[in-house]
Amino acid sequence: MELFLMQLFNGISVSSILLMAALGLAVTFGLMGVINMAHGEFLMVGAYTAYIVQKLFIAYLPAGVFDAYCIVAILLSFLVAAVLGFILERLVIRRLYGRAADSLLVTWGISLILQQAARSIFGSPNVGVKAPSFLEKSLRIHGMLSLPYKRIFILILAVFCLFGVYWLMYRTRQGRNIRAVMQNRDMAAALGVNTGRIDSATFAIGSGLAGLAGCALTWIGAIGPTLGTNYIVDTFMTVVVGGAGSLLGSVFGAGFIGIGGTAFEFFTTASIGKVLIFLCVILLLQFRPKGIFAVKNRALED
């Protein structure tokens, strides 16, 4: 039982990472209708940003302040991924609105370019990022049951991101404009909303959240150029199961994929567990093809 509870907690931490990655994808997918296959590479960008920050702290700052690198890494991972997302939206994505098949192929090509760029800069082998010393310990509950501080911190970071996105979407003028564009782009534009600016800002925020998820990933495993490829499918499944554009749906989808997949793997094997979670997703979408918490669209043509 203790081993199962530890595995379940690991599943919750995986769900936390999926939630951070899916929060941005859920909004941008629901807002723009763009299938962004390069979204996983923003996780890679955030992870390598944390790696670079660590190297700079080791090379140029005293050892006593090393632990502070994690704060700088979190901020820069978000900013670097957000800026890259903003540039990508301005140069490429805005020409693909309403063209789902084209967006899939183009963003898949962009993901390959970013992966090759990472190989050219950092090399093909995986690299590691050392967690701050205060995250290296574990919270012992009983017997063998102990919860690593790393995964607890990731969970707290995911909750913070969730409430941040909720505040943005439902407590600010920017969020109201985003929801207006999601529900009826033409009407929002007719009422004076600058939809182009909304698209760019939203895509940048979504990319930044993926960068945060990548930063969090560095503390629980090695990172490499194909890091995003390992998570893009699960992230899309999270969005599809929960419902594009729904925060509550993102939470449900992340828990469904992360905890469900971990539980299946505990009772079977890693490969069979992945097959079982795919079967569950297929069955669920047979009854709710738009996801559990699908956002209603108010466009006139609907």
Nearest-CA neighbor of 240 among 293, 197, 204, 169? 293
Query: What percentage of the chain has pLDDT greater than the value 90?
Result: 31
Query: What would the pLDDT profile of 78-128 be if each residue is shown by its tens digit?
Result: 999 999 999 999 999 888 877 777 888 899 999 999 999 999 999 989 998
The pLDDT assigned to 119 comes to 94
pLDDT of residue 181: 84
CA dist 257 and 277 (Å) reads 7
Confidence (pLDDT) at 292: 83
Q: pLDDT confidence of 299, banded at 50, 70, 90? A: very low
Strands (E) in the chain, as ranges, are 138-142, 145-148
Contacting residues for 103 by C-beta, under 8 A, at least 6 apart: 34, 35, 36, 93, 96
Three-state SS across 11-41?
A: HHHHHHHHHHHHHHHHHHHHHHCCCCCCHHH
The answer to whether residues 149 and 138 touch, using CB atoms and an 8 Å cutoff, is yes
Give the separation between CA 137 and CA 97, rounded to whole angstroms. 47
Look at 22-31, 120-129, 172-181 and tell me which has the smallest mean pLDDT. Answer: 22-31
Percentage of the chain exceeding pLDDT 70: 95
pLDDT band at 141 (very low <50, low <70, confident <90, very high): confident
Average pLDDT, the chain: 86
CB atoms under 10 Å from CB of 101, counted, come to 9
**What is the model's pLDDT at position 31?**
65
For residue 117, the tally of other CB atoms under 10 A from its CB is 14
Neighbours of 5 (CB within 10 A): 14
> What Å distances lie between residue 3 and 10, 63, 221, 259, 267, CA to CA?
11, 36, 20, 14, 12
First vs last C-alpha separation in the chain: 50
What are the Cα distances from residue 173, in Å, to 26, 89, 177, 180? Answer: 19, 22, 6, 10
